[in-house]
Structure 1
Amino acid sequence: MANTSSPVQSQYLHEMGIDQWELIHPERLTGYQADLTVLPEGCKLLLVSDEKPEGKLAEMFERVLKSIKLDLSQALYIPSDQFTSVESNRVDWVWFAGCSPSIELDAKILQSPLLSDIDGNNQHRRDLWQQICAYD
């Protein structure tokens, strides 16, 4: 567990003899419901993957975005274990790279291997392109 209160709050609690802690795994508590993270207004595509697009992979990711008429400012990356804590009903596209959708969504869904597996693999790129074209 980790202490997460502000310095002023910590001081008050310390003076009263009260320790404040944050649970590492609050989802393990019965009845726990996490607050959903609201996506930025302009977010049109959510990339859900355990591999963050950086360097060469970010360039490939940007090319895919351009193919669906989006740019990097309209896309957001989140690790797959955080997907259920995001309010995803506002995005047009959700791209699951290297993981599977865990809930039913109203958005256009792309499902592929990890970005590193797509890069340089013509069959994976073709499969992704066919998914994109299916929504046109």
Structure 2
Amino acid sequence: MQTNSTAYLSEMGIDTYQLMHPQRLSGCQVAAINLPSDCKMLLVSPTLPEGSQAEFLERVLKSMQLTLAQIRHVFPQQVDQVQPQSVEWLWFAGCPSSDTLQGKVLSSPLLSDIDGNNQQRKALWQQICTYSE
């Protein structure tokens, strides 16, 4: 049996939701995010890449010899929930970087702002190349 609030969310087509700032609730335990062992890159961005942004991301990853299956996305407010473990790449797109996790750090505007902007693409590529030298 659904509660009134659950039924109301269901009627609106919302089957899952996530609190943006669970740490603000007293006594709330924030679940840790464990990355799979095959995860090579953590993409931290306020937007989840979809459509043309996902295609652009896939092209960038291909140039780095990575696949979409080897990356995970988290929202900026979730970075502190990620268990500190070895991730090769951290890409902060459209948000400030954090020193919570260790790895090769890329910092850029949102993917939508890079795709089609040669100056931004060049800046991103230069960051990637600094780690291959």
Query: How high is the TM-score relative to the length of structure 2?
Result: 0.76
Q: CA deviation at 1:100?
A: 1.0
- Could you say if the C-alpha distance between residues 125 and 24 of structure 1 is closer, same or farther in structure 2, counting changes exceeding 3 Å? closer
Whether contact under 8 Å (2:90, 2:103) holds in the other structure is yes
Identity of paired residues, percent? Answer: 54
CA displacement, residues 64-120 of structure 1 (integer Å, 9 cap, x when unaligned): 111111001101111111111112422100100000123243200000000000011
Structure-2 residue corresponding to 1:56 = 52
CA displacement, residues 26-54 of structure 1 (integer Å, 9 cap, x when unaligned): 52367977442110111100110011111
Count how many residue pairs are aligned between Structure 1 and Structure 2.
115
Q: Distance in 1 between matches of 2:21 and 2:42?
A: 24
Question: Which amino acid in the other structure matches residue 57 of structure 2?
Answer: F
Structure-1 residue corresponding to 2:102 = 106
- Could you say if the C-alpha distance between residues 134 and 44 of structure 1 is closer, same or farther in structure 2, counting changes exceeding 3 Å? same
2:49 is the counterpart of 1:46 = no
Question: Which amino acid in the other structure matches residue 98 of structure 1?
Answer: G
Whether contact under 8 Å (1:43, 1:74) holds in the other structure is yes
Whether contact under 8 Å (1:97, 1:111) holds in the other structure is yes
Q: Which runs of 5+ in 2 are unaligned?
A: 4-18
| RMSD (Å), alpha carbons | 2.3
SS in 2 for 1:131: helix
Q: Distance in 1 between matches of 2:22 and 2:49?
A: 29
Whether contact under 8 Å (1:38, 1:86) holds in the other structure is yes
Q: Distance in 2 between matches of 1:43 and 1:71?
A: 10
Query: Equivalent residues in 2 for 1:1-136 (5 A)?
Result: 26-28=22-24, 34-136=30-132
Question: Which amino acid in the other structure matches residue 45 of structure 2?
Answer: S
Whether contact under 8 Å (1:39, 1:88) holds in the other structure is no
Query: How high is the TM-score relative to the length of structure 1?
Result: 0.74
